[in-house]
Structure 1
Amino acid sequence: MTDDEFDLLDELYFVQHFSYLKETLGWGETRLLTTLQALYEKSFIKCLKGPDDEIFEKLDLTQSGTDLFYLATKKGLMEHNAL
């Protein structure tokens, strides 16, 4: 897990919108979307249309990630806490 992935997972213990993550971390959009995509591909996060509306189809977050909410999965939290 990269330092960026670790720092991003720190923010995803609760459902958070993309704009919150961008503001809190102070990252550029490309960096944030790339890191979200990497975590998503490892099944460390799940994506939501709204706070209670999980998306189950495959996503390309670099194209549609700015309008979504995110939450760490159990697998992501276990990996995050193991470090």
Structure 2
Amino acid sequence: MSDEEFDLLDELYFVQSYSYLKDTLGWEEHLILKTLTQLYSKSYIKCLTEPDQERFDQVDISKEGTSLYFLATKKGLMAHNAL
């Protein structure tokens, strides 16, 4: 797990919006979207359209990520806590 993945996952113990991540981490948009995509591909996070509405289809984070919410999965939390 990269430092960026670890830091981003650290913010996703609770549902967070893209704008929250951008404000909190202070990263450029491309870095946030790239890191979210990496975490999503490992099944470490799930995507939501609203804080309580999970997406079950395949999500293209590079196209839709700025309008979504994110949450760490159990697999992601276990990987995060193993480090």
Sort the TM-score into its range (normalised by shorter chain): over 0.9
Query: How far, CA to CA, are the matches of 1:59 and 1:16 in structure 2?
Result: 17
Question: Which portions of structure 1, spanning 4 or more consecutive aligned residues, are displaced by more than 3 angstroms?
Answer: none
How far residue 69 of structure 1 moved from its aligned partner, in angstroms, is 0.2
Corresponding residue number in structure 2 for 1:62: 62
Structure 2 unmatched runs, 5+: none
Aligned runs of 1:25-44 on 2, under 5 Å?
Answer: 25-44=25-44
TM value normalised by structure 2: 0.99
Query: How far, CA to CA, are the matches of 1:28 and 1:20 in structure 2?
Result: 13
**What SS class does the counterpart of residue 13 from structure 2 fall into?**
coil
How far residue 60 of structure 1 moved from its aligned partner, in angstroms, is 1.0
Cα deviation, 1:3-54, whole Å, max 9, x if unaligned, reads 0000000000000000000000000100000000000000000000001000
Tell me which amino acid in the other structure corresponds to 2:60: D
Query: How far, CA to CA, are the matches of 1:47 and 1:59 in structure 2?
Result: 8
**How many residues are aligned here?**
83
TM value normalised by structure 1: 0.99
Aligned runs of 1:1-83 on 2, under 5 Å?
Answer: 1-83=1-83
Note the aligned Cα RMSD (angstroms).
Answer: 0.3
How far residue 59 of structure 1 moved from its aligned partner, in angstroms, is 1.0
